[in-house]
Amino acid sequence: MHDLRSFLDRVRSERAPEMVEVHREVQPRYETTAILTQFERRMRSPVLLFRNIAGATFPVVTNVCGSRGRLALAMGCPLGDLGRTFRERCARPMPPEVASTGPVHENVRLGTDVDLRALPQMVYHQDDSPHPYITAAMVVVRDPESRRANLSYHRLMIVVARKTGIFMEHGHLLEVFQKHVRAGRDMPIAVILGAHPLWSLGALYSGPADVEEYDIIGGLQGRPLETVNCLTCPDLLAPSRAEFTLEGSVSINERIEEGPFGEFTGVSSGKTSSPAFNVGAMTYRNDAIFQDIVSGHAEHLLLPSLGLEARLLSVARTVVKHVRGIGMPVPLTIVVSIEKSDNNEPRRLIEKLLDCGIHVKHVVITDASVDPGNLRQVLTAVSLNTQADRDVYIYGNQQGSPCDPSALENGQTAKMGIDGTLSQSGNRSVAANAVPKEILDAVNIDAILRG
Ligand SMILES: Cc1cc2nc3c(=O)[nH]c(=O)nc-3n(C[C@H](O)[C@H](O)[C@H](O)COP(=O)(O)O)c2cc1C
Ligand SMILES: [Mn+2]
């Protein structure tokens, strides 16, 4: 059975060092971020389960998906097969099953009984808005025209007891919202809190609007997701075994000042004006666990990278016959390693990829010998192979992410591609420094260390 709790139990029993439970009282303002930061400085990225968050009755779990190893555990595949397994399972979608009720409806608060201040009031960074945020919020909506459901993550800023702001930077939810604006109707949504990692990866699947992320979750699980109809918007489905749901509607008229907020870029996105989400119902399981994602840390970058890399890989393969790998080692930069067949191929690939949305700002192409996740190898290839007046391509006036601090407020940006492959004509012939293989293989370090 897939849910957040069963996954935490698995980590506890199979990866004990990756599950850190904190029993002493911890402040929701800055302290959970500080604790995760100190683990990351020690090159560790465990699940952190805070049993006692000041002012809250619910425990907080954060960094559930903070390592590729745990994503592979959730997927049930070897670490090295994570990307391929994800792509293969996404290609076998399965629609959800619907039941009339489930554990997520064990506790129900309706109307004026809803109080978001009963949730842990998380604040991450010192320059953030003093208003608490809900960061691990999976938003479900149904397109009023196509009737397709959509899932995506959106930050929610708690304003008062039954109101949040909702940040829609891009994507299908924003498109569905614009349809509601044109039709003059508020947009019903459900927010899911507390998810199995495969639900999170499914929600972040990066594909066309007519692919329902719930079906992708079924594919990732290898069995349909069990869902229930939401109580106040029965048109929408929520996972039966989610920890919480919030139901309500996003106003087409009411906007609130939202942010500043430290984003996935690692820097603050500043103040914005975002639509208001008015909450009409809150449901939760007995002993509910509040899931959290510390903004701008490893988990925040890692979670969407699988979906984005899978989509960009399939685009890249329409241009280049042999793509070795793809990676997003830092925000907004994509690296693709290829075996090129002619000198124009990198440029064609760059142009195709830069067209793939606001989160692709810089593209670096390397030869197949380079591991796209290894920044040292990538930058070495750029240093040694690139002649800037020949191999760097710049495109002005593009649509980028408003979270990019060097872009204009509306996200207008320049984009850049760097061809870091060895030129087939221009470069002098090169040989990587190496020693003969038989001599390398014959070295017995253990024997040498023993003296
Ligand atoms: C933790 C987390 C928070 C996110 N917050 C936002 C957000 O506030 N606004 C936004 O537009 N996208 C946000 N995203 C990115 C979208 O959820 C993501 O691009 C999603 O795949 C879009 O779905 P779609 O393809 O159905 O549009 C977030 C992603 C993660 C992992
Ligand atoms: Mn979608």
Q: Which residues line ligand 1 (CB under 6 A)?
A: 135, 150, 152-155, 167-173, 204, 206, 293, 300, 303-304, 307
Per CATH, which fold does 80-290 belong to?
Pnp Oxidase; Chain A (2.30.110)
Three-state secondary structure call for residue 126: coil
Residue nearest to atom 6 of ligand 1 (CA): 154
How many C-beta neighbours within 10 Å does residue 214 have? 24
Tell me the C-alpha distance between 310 and 172, whole Å.
18
Q: Which two tokens stand for residue 422?
A: 């060895």
Residue 21: partners with Cβ closer than 8 Å, 6 or more residues away: 49, 51
Tell me the C-alpha distance between 96 and 225, whole Å.
5
Q: Which two tokens stand for residue 253?
A: 């008229």
Residue nearest to atom 26 of ligand 1 (CA): 172
Mean pLDDT of 187-212: 98
DSSP 131: S
> CATH 3.40.1670.10 residue ranges in the chain?
317-419
Amino acid code (one letter) for 191: V
> CATH 2.30.110.10 residue ranges in the chain?
80-290
Structure confidence at residue 426 (pLDDT): 67
Q: Among 76-90, 346-360, 425-439, where is mean pLDDT lowest?
A: 425-439
Which of 124, 142, 153 to mutate for ligand 1's pocket (most ligand atoms within 8 Å of CB)? Answer: 153
pLDDT tens readout for residues 396-441: 999 999 999 999 999 999 999 999 999 877 667 778 899 999 999 9
Residue nearest to atom 1 of ligand 1 (CA): 300
Structure confidence at residue 387 (pLDDT): 95
pLDDT tens readout for residues 250-287: 999 999 999 999 999 999 999 999 999 999 999 999 99
Domain covering 317-419 in this structure, CATH number: 3.40.1670.10
Three-state secondary structure call for residue 235: coil
Residue nearest to atom 25 of ligand 1 (CA): 206
Q: DSSP letter string over 2-30?
A: -SHHHHHHHHHHH-GGGEEEE-S-B-TBT
Nearest ligand atom owner, CA of 138: 1
